[in-house]
Chains A and B, each alone.
Chain A
Amino acid sequence: MSTLEAPRPTRGDTVADPADLVTEALDLGYDGTRVVHALDLRLPPGQVTAIVGPNGCGKSTLLGALARVHEAQGGAVLLDGRDLATLRPRDAARRIGLLPQQAAAPDGLTVRDLVRYGRHPHQGLLRQWSPEDAAAVHGALAAADLLDLADRPLDQLSGGQRQRAWIAMVVAQQTAVVLLDEPTSALDLGHQLEVLELVADLAAQGRTVVLVLHDLSTACRHADHLVAMRDGRVVAEGPPADVVTAGLVRELYGVEAAVLRDPTSGTPVVCPVRRVAATG
């Protein structure tokens, strides 16, 4: 995170065992259409990585593959050196948590019930609900600042509160890796910050966090590491301040832009000027 940001106490338990998540020559696709091509990527442990790029560039597909939800068509995702595809789904779910875009819950589901779902990978036929599960759910509710709302139905919450509840479900999963697909889309500015501060806390506790984000300036402000994708390939990768240039914005989106510095954090801010032909 930025050096100029005022220190804020983090909430929740720290993760003892950071995960190393790597893709090697990863190919992904649906029904013969290749979406991601020969992708080599290393996600810095304990940091926030933002994946950005135009619609349909393969961001969400990549995130799904990192969580073992999409199968690799070639290459592999390695978790601590082991091929993710060889792990049992439940073992993978103990190390990697995923919040897909626009997740929907049944009507009347309470915040606490939703967060309890996060304990599923830790339960089995013989291992039902335990004090450990109760502690994890309580910790996740506290981390997301939802203890007062725990027994309210999700559909009665604000957009930001609802999104924090979903993230709390993933937190209760107690995974070393947290993957969030556009967690701030459809939220207003205050609610976006509410979610992104929670995300910062997760990384501060030693989790490897990967976000798919729509807005480049938001990504620059809140991520330690940026992965820019276009047409299923990585175009640029690195700390946002090093990576984001007018040339990159043109290459990604076909937009001419001025790249300024955020007066508070010093991170790049993208001001679009006009649409031009994409390069590269």
Chain B
Amino acid sequence: MLLRGLVPALAVLVVAVLASLAVGAGEVGPARALAVLGGGGDADARFAVLQLRVPRTVVAVAVGIALGVAGAVLQTAARNPLAEPGLLGVSAGASFAVVLVIASGASAASLGPWVAVLGAGAGCLLAVGAARLRGAGDDPVRLVLAGAALSGLLSAATSVVLLLDQRTADEVRFWTVGSVAGRDLGTLTQVGPVLAVGLLIALLAARPLSALALGDTVARGLGHRPARARALAMVAVALLVGGAVAAAGPVVFIGLVVPFLARALVGPDLRRVLAVTVLLGPAVVLLADVASRLLVRPYEMPLGVVTAMIGAPVLVAVVRSTRMPAL
């Protein structure tokens, strides 16, 4: 069962990594890029592949793992297949926190990942609070509506900050639409440990979280503490989404699309879903990023726009399916 998911996910990931290294919006095409990977290649190609595409690929892999795992964890904790960090306002919370701090005078370069993590944490709490409101928690679509309202509010607030402060606008445009272009490996030395801790917490909480899928009473009967499992899940999601936003800005829908595909491959068990997600998440982000370089050549489309274009139809498909898959 697990192999049925891991093998195709790994194959897609390998193809996606090669494509990300080989394909660009600029002059260096696949033939010249592959020559570099073979150890040769001309100077221009070496620069494009080693200085631009390798760091970009590594950041995309990290972001893909983080957002995929965060989505799977959030969906299990909320027992809602639509609980996606981007849809529920978690990513928007992280972006807004960063924009607010930059607007109040801090420089984007000196900003660590913690502002984004705290923003994501606040977004998480607001989303969970909204889900606890009467009735909203029972109905997957209503939770997403509450999340969409929160996301919209935070985006509007971000826009207001940008309108008021022109200097900020240039520095923070990046934080309003996600992208992995122009990232260097320095990004990852800051964000990497945050993501690693988030991932570790998610893995530690996986067993109790998976039991929550049977309902709180059954989970308690099996010796779990549902409140503690949910708290751990929230911390993991805040770290993973905050770290991802700090590295690449808000990249939406990855947390919806990837667990959705993983569940289709290996069924609903969270631990198997996570195993497939850590391969499939990077693959989807990389493929979307490759598309972002090719769609409007020689320009690039921001990654966040591409993932939104992929994710929106998936969201509609999940909502429209005659029976919402219960989690």
Binding site for B on A (CB under 8 A): 64, 67-69, 88-94, 96-100, 103-110, 113-114, 117-118, 120-121, 123, 125, 170, 173
A98 to B223, CA, bound (A): 10
* CB pair A110 B207 closer than 8 Å: no
| Contact for B217 among A90, A94, A97, A100, CB less than 8 A | A100
Chain A residues near B268 (CB-CB < 8 A): 106-109
| Contact of B325 with A by CB under 8 A | yes
What residues on B are CB-neighbors of A109 within 8 Å?
A: 213, 267-269
Q: Can you report 28 A-B residue pairs in the complex whose CB atoms are below 8 A from each other? A: A64-B217, A69-B221, A89-B223, A89-B224, A90-B224, A92-B223, A93-B221, A97-B221, A98-B220, A100-B217, A100-B218, A103-B215, A103-B218, A105-B213, A106-B213, A106-B268, A106-B325, A106-B327, A107-B326, A108-B267, A109-B267, A109-B269, A113-B269, A117-B211, A117-B214, A117-B218, A120-B207, A121-B222
Q: Which 5 A-B pairs have the closest CB atoms?
A: A93-B223, A98-B221, A90-B223, A106-B268, A121-B223
Q: Are B327 and A99 neighbours in the complex by a CB distance under 8 Å?
A: no
- Compute how far the CA of A104 lies from the CA of B215 in the bound complex, rounded to whole angstroms: 7
Name the residue of chain B whose CB is nearest to the CB of A97.
B221
Contact A69–B213 (Cβ < 8 Å): no
B225 close to A (CB within 8 Å): yes
Most chain B CB within a 10 A radius of its CB, from A64, A106, A120:
A106
Q: Are B207 and A123 in contact (CB under 8 A)?
A: yes
Q: Flag whether B204 is at the interface (Cβ < 8 A).
A: yes
In whole Å, how far is A99's beta carbon from the nearest beta carbon of chain B? 7
B263 contacts A by Cβ under 8 Å: yes
Report the minimum CB–CB distance from A115 to chain B (whole Å). 12
What is the distance, in angstroms, from B146's C-beta to the closest C-beta of chain A?
22
Chain B residues lying within 8 Å of A123, measured Cβ to Cβ, are 207
Q: Inside 8 A of A108's CB, which chain B residues have their CB?
A: 263, 267-268, 325
Bound-complex Cα distance A64 to B219 (A): 12
Contact partners of B210 in chain A: CB under 8 A? 117
CB neighbours of B225 from chain A (8 A) = 89
Residues of chain A within 8 A (CB-CB) of B263 are: 108
Beyond A98-B217, A100-B217, A104-B214, 18 additional contacts (C-beta under 8 Å) are A64-B217, A67-B221, A69-B217, A88-B223, A90-B223, A93-B221, A94-B223, A96-B221, A98-B218, A100-B215, A107-B268, A108-B263, A108-B268, A109-B269, A113-B269, A118-B222, A121-B223, A173-B222
Closest to B326 in A: A107
Taking each of A104, A118, A170, which has the highest tally of chain B beta carbons within 10 Å of its own beta carbon? A104
Query: CB within 8 Å of A: which residues of B?
Result: 204, 207, 210-211, 213-215, 217-218, 220-225, 263, 267-269, 325-327
Contact of B204 among A90, A121, A125 (CB under 8 A): A125
Which chain B residues lie closer than 8 Å to A97 at the CB level? 221
How far apart are B35's CB and chain A's nearest CB, in angstroms?
A: 45
B211: which A residues are within 8 A, CB to CB? Answer: 117, 120
Nearest B residue to A120 via CB reads B222
Question: How many pairs of residues, A versus B, come closer than 8 Å at their CB atoms?
Answer: 80
CA distance A96 to B327 in the complex (A): 26
**CB-defined contacts of A117 to chain B, threshold 8 Å:** 210-211, 214, 218, 222
Q: Is the CB of A106 within 8 A of B221?
A: no
Shortest beta-carbon distance, B295 to chain A, in Å?
35
Residue from A91, A93, A120 whose CB has the most chain B CB atoms within 10 Å? A120
Complex Cα distance A205/B214, Å? Answer: 27
Contacts of B215 in A (CB 8 A): 100, 103-104
**Which residues of the partner chain B approach A121 to less than 8 Å between Cβ atoms?**
222-223
**Chain A CB within 10 A, most for which of B220, B225, B325:** B220
Shortest CB-to-CB span from B210 to chain A, Å, is 8
Q: How far is the CB of A68 from chain B (nearest CB, A)?
A: 7
Query: Which residues of chain B come closer than 8 Å to A90, judged between CB atoms?
Result: 223-224
**Complex formed: what's the CA distance from A90 to B220 in Å?**
9
Which residues of chain A are within 8 angstroms of B214 by Cβ–Cβ distance?
A: 103-106, 114, 117
With a cutoff of 8 Å between Cβ atoms, the chain A residues found around residue B220 in the complex are 67-69, 89, 98
Instruction: State the Cβ distance, B187 to closest chain A Cβ, in Å.
Output: 32
Nearest-Cβ distance from residue A41 to partner chain B, whole angstroms: 19
Residue of B220, B223, B267 ringed by the most chain A CB atoms within 10 A: B223
**C-alpha spacing A255/B144, complex, angstroms:** 48
Q: Is the CB of B326 within 8 A of A120?
A: no
Contacts of A64 in B (CB 8 A): 217
Name the residue on A nearest B264 (C-beta): A108
CA A113 to CA B204, docked complex, whole Å = 19
Complex contacts, B325 vs chain A, CB 8 Å: 106-108
A39 to B222, CA, bound (A): 25
* B210, closest chain A residue (CB): A117
Task: Give the chain B neighbours of A92 by CB distance below 8 A.
Answer: 223
Chain A residues whose CB sits within 8 angstroms of the CB of B207 once the complex forms: 120, 123
A67-B219 Cα distance, complex, nearest whole Å: 12
- For the complex formed, measure the closest distance between the CB of B177 and the CB atoms of chain A, giving whole angstroms: 34
A104 and B221 contact, CB distance less than 8 A: no
Q: Which residue of A lies closest to B228 (CB)?
A: A89
CA distance A117 to B215 in the complex (A): 12
